[in-house]
Amino acid sequence: MISALDPPDACPSCDPGDCPASLPLTVEDADGGTLASYEAPCGTAWQTLFDEHGWPVERTTADVAPSRRAA
């Protein structure tokens, strides 16, 4: 449900206000909509799928901090 999603540019792992809103790192076409990739200063990365009207439909997260420490 769209109203249940957090703001698409806010870190899904941090408390509101802890991390600033993020601009998308990449934006690409996806099944008639748009897929935007984000990363917060805390090391959490996520993607938001927007429908053809620009409404957020789904968010998926991935913690990128462990892979950065290994690099």
Residue linked to tokens 């449900």: 1
Q: What tokens does 29 get?
A: 């076409």
Instruction: Pinpoint the alpha helices (H) of 1-71.
Output: 65-70
- Give per-residue pLDDT as tens, 32-66: 899 999 988 888 899 999 999 999 888 888 755 55
Closest of 60, 40, 61 to residue 49, by C-alpha: 60
Q: Which two tokens stand for residue 19?
A: 């991390």
* Confidence band for 2, pLDDT divided at 50, 70 and 90: very low
Q: Is the model more confident about 46 or about 19?
A: 46
Q: pLDDT value at position 34?
A: 94
